[in-house]
A and B are shown apart, each in its own frame.
Chain A
Amino acid sequence: MTTGDLSTLLVWGAATAFTIALVAYSIDLARIAERAQKRVPEAALVGSGSTRPATAVAGSEDQSAPGRSARAEGIARSTTLLGLVLLFAGIVLRGIAAGRWPTANMYEFTIVGVFVAVLVLAVVQRRRVIAFVGVVVMGISVLALVLALNAFYIQADQVQPALQSYWLILHVGVAIIATGIFTVAFAAAVLQVLRSFREEALVDGPAVTVGTPGRSDRFRRWVGGPRFGWLEQVPGSRELEALSFRLNAIAFVLWTFTLIGGAIWAEHAWGRYWGWDPKEVGTFVAWVVYAAYLHARTTRGWSGRRASYFVFVGYAVVLANFTVVNLVVTGKHSYSGI
């Protein structure tokens, strides 16, 4: 077996470990939901009695809080770590097999990106498991790894002259880290929005709306219902907003570096720093959307839940910039090898 094959095997191993972690997180989440469903009347009472449900629920911090499954959490934790170790080894061996830094094509981009996302997940969860964020990040990661192994895979090899530059490490490496962090921030933002709808539903009471309910009223009622009882177990929406913001801010700064670094590299390799190449446009659009997110957070009437919708759009652009632009659109950035 060659080093390259061994690397691929390790990545498959990591995908397996992450799949188990995904199942474990899902079981944990289901348990929480189940217990919460039983306790709904009581929870609703607590929620509606308090003016700040965020803090009312954030009190349930400790690990052994009823509803969580310690076994599932343990398994999730250990398989996450195991997967990280396997994936790391796979990445290192890939680099050795190719004789260069392993960030030159979509396959390598995806496996390193997943590594970063799961690493950030592990760091965020080091004190407290947030099963929902685990499910979202693991779901995306497993999907991405399987996609990488089946659709993006190419043999480990040297790269063409245009890629022989230290910018392959800086520009692409930073882009990968940024994408990984954006992923976790996105998961936190989804949770924040759900949680915030539920908080509202509990404070207002599901039946308060007069007249015909709008779409968001219906959604609020739905999230306020027993099915989403598990939301009581996650941190308050303000806390999640803060988490999502902090991650997004770091990723945004890294994205800015990706943009500037890409331009500097393009100046060396292509003879111009900016040419509205599809990948450049995609990067620019994502950057502008996240900039809008930062502005929305500080705009009256837009902060909180509405601002986080920008995160959804921004993350969608980041993903499209990686998939659609690489595979469908033709541009200078055709290094995927597929």
Chain B
Amino acid sequence: MSVHRPEGLSDVFMEPTEAPAAPPTLPTLGLVGWLRWAWRQLTSMRVALLLLMLLAVAAVPGTVWPQRAQDTAKVATYIADHPTTGPWLDRLGFFDVYSSVWFSAIYILLFVSLVGCILPRTKVHLAGVRGRPPRAPRRFTRFPAQGSGVVDAPPSQVADHATTVLRAGWRWLPFVPTYRVDTRDEGNGTLSVSAERGYLRETGNLVFHLALVGLLISVATGQVLHYRGQAIVVQGRGFANAQVDYDTFEQGTAFTPSSLVPFTLRLDEFESRFDPVTLQSRDFTAHVTLTNPGEEPVEETIKVNHPLDAGGAKVYLQGNGYAPDITVRDASGQVAFSGPTPFLPQDEVYTSRGVVKVPDVSGDQEQIGLVGYLLPTVDVRETSFGPAYASVNPQPDDPALVLAVWQGNLGLDTGVPQNVYELDESRMTQLMDEDDKPVTLVVRPGETVDLPEGMGTLTFNELTRYVALDLRHDPALPFVLVFALLAFAGLATSLFAPRRRLWLRLAPGAEGDDGRTVVTAAGLARGDDVGLQPELDRVLAQVLARSADRPPVAPRGPTSGEASP
């Protein structure tokens, strides 16, 4: 049997059991010859080793330099801070390591090498599983496990018995034979019994490697088909799964809008719990109402670690904060703005920063901008500069809005998209009081304060909460999981299932010693296997012991070729 063996693979198990190997033929080089040579190199063990180490090394820069995929801003800062090296690093892909040409080249070559190595081995293994255990080698002396003995029974009877011993089942799986057994007649009355177990080891190895290929393909498929979006949803408000409803949206190249199932989601209530002493977060729960198209609304909860499945997508609770509900009336008493505005938490005690833009004032009044903080539990301290406000607890025990007031043109009509959390101050002026200090409004829920210079009033209606949701749809997820688990199972099997070959040679006793058999045995295992010699000893002991006291058996059935793996 010609065995496929990747160049450089050192594996006793694949050595031919009889020595003579064909003399190496020098390749006749030509284009085909070179290609063949290159392929053999690529699929060799040495190159696989090299590629693995390269992959390990190539993955490291991604932790050393900031990565665009995770933090674009950080990359921009880095390049700005390093005007000479930055652009070069950028050109060489050091800010996009995992999608760079060199990183991709390494893992693609590795996978090509893997496939080139594994497919032929799979073929050989399938043939091996269907074939007979390899014939007993002529000499046993070079094998790692050996044994011998003499028994009072003719070879044929010993062979039968050895077959029974070897084919005995597992303790916990009595119907599955341990070994596959094959008996051959070597002439001169000598029989040999070949036995092999542990085909699962090679099977596991192949499954592991092929599962890695499956994993790679699944991950790539997911990349192409996925979508992901972020949305901020305020308490009492809804959200529809449509591209326009997202604050940010990102999609794979083969994404089709039809994979967005148009469900709607409403945030009914948001609960948070913090440790009273350390103020660390302990629990966040969003109570939502989910309405799938054509179905009754259902109440659900979303927690960190417990995403909600909706319309084939998963909805994650990524963040939360406060959205004060404010009404601004202009000088003429008209409502110019009303509704909740999300403020972004800046620290552990939810000191939250936000901007309220009031463009729709009536008449020819100037537009109003409010910038400042929401403090869920306010603490006021008098300082020489006047009162200082700080939040002391993330829970809304005594919330207050502390705002500065700007007047002028908000710049919303320039056509340039604006950050809703920043005020463009270029065409606005901040309002000052008589002492020429900036005006600071402090408002508590239910309170109404006058805006300076008779611009109108501001009412803090109530404090509502919002959640930042992250939606992701990746149709390849189940495949990724299955291939990962297959790889794991294959790996464990290939490392822990022993693969062993045992051979027994049953020679008739010397002249005049008829009816006796000289038994010699040898064993071979893949990898190191401390259990090989004990197993050989056990088998030999059983063969020697019981063959002797069994009565001569009647007709002999065929023993070869009927075993199972």
Contacts and interface: CB of A to CB of B under 8 A. Distances in A.
Contacts of A299: 8-10, 45-46, 49
A158 B275 contact: yes
CB-based closest 5 A-B pairs:
A161-B304, A292-B52, A300-B10, A271-B316, A299-B45
Contacts of A269: 304-305
Contacts of B55: 288
B11 A298 contact: yes
B275 A300 contact: no
A136 interface: no
Contacts of B536: none
Contacts of B67: 276
Interface in A278-295: 278, 281-282, 284-285, 288-289, 291-292, 295
Contacts of A289: 52-53, 56
Contacts of A49: none
A165 B45 contact: no
A62 B526 CA distance: 30
B10 A303 contact: yes
A298 B485 contact: no
21 contacts: A160-B280, A161-B282, A164-B283, A249-B495, A249-B496, A260-B484, A264-B481, A269-B304, A271-B228, A272-B472, A281-B60, A285-B59, A288-B56, A288-B59, A289-B53, A292-B52, A295-B45, A296-B49, A299-B8, A300-B8, A300-B45
B304 A245 contact: no
Interface string B295-316: 0000000011111000000101
Interface string A154-181: 0001101110110000000000000000
The prevalent SS among residues of A at the interface is helix
Interface of A: 157-158, 160-162, 164-165, 241-242, 245-246, 249, 252-253, 256-257, 260, 263-264, 267-278, 281-282, 284-285, 288-289, 291-292, 295-296, 298-303, 317, 325, 329, 331
Interface residues of B, number: 54
Given A161-B283, A292-B56, A268 B306 contact: yes
A329 B63 CA distance: 8
Contacts, number: 125
Interface in B261-302: 275, 278, 280-284
A246 B528 CA distance: 9
A165 B304 CA distance: 9
A174 B432 CA distance: 61
Contacts of B305: 161-162, 164-165, 268-269
B281 A275 contact: no
A160 B281 contact: yes
A302 B45 CA distance: 10
Nearest to B492: A253
B22 interface: no
Interface in B1-60: 8-11, 45-46, 48-49, 52-53, 55-56, 59-60
B488 interface: yes
B234 interface: no
B56 A256 contact: no
B440 to A, nearest CB: 34
A300 B48 CA distance: 13
Contacts of B314: 271
Nearest to A161: B304
B224 to A, nearest CB: 15
Given A288-B56, A291-B52, A271 B63 contact: no
B499 to A, nearest CB: 13
B49 A302 contact: yes
B480 interface: yes
A260 to B, nearest CB: 5
A54 B56 CA distance: 34
A300 B491 contact: no
A329 B492 CA distance: 32
Given A257-B488, A264-B481, A298 B63 contact: no
Nearest to B219: A274
A295 B48 contact: yes
Contact of A162 (B60, B97, B304): B304
B480 A157 contact: no
A329 B472 CA distance: 27
A242 B69 CA distance: 43
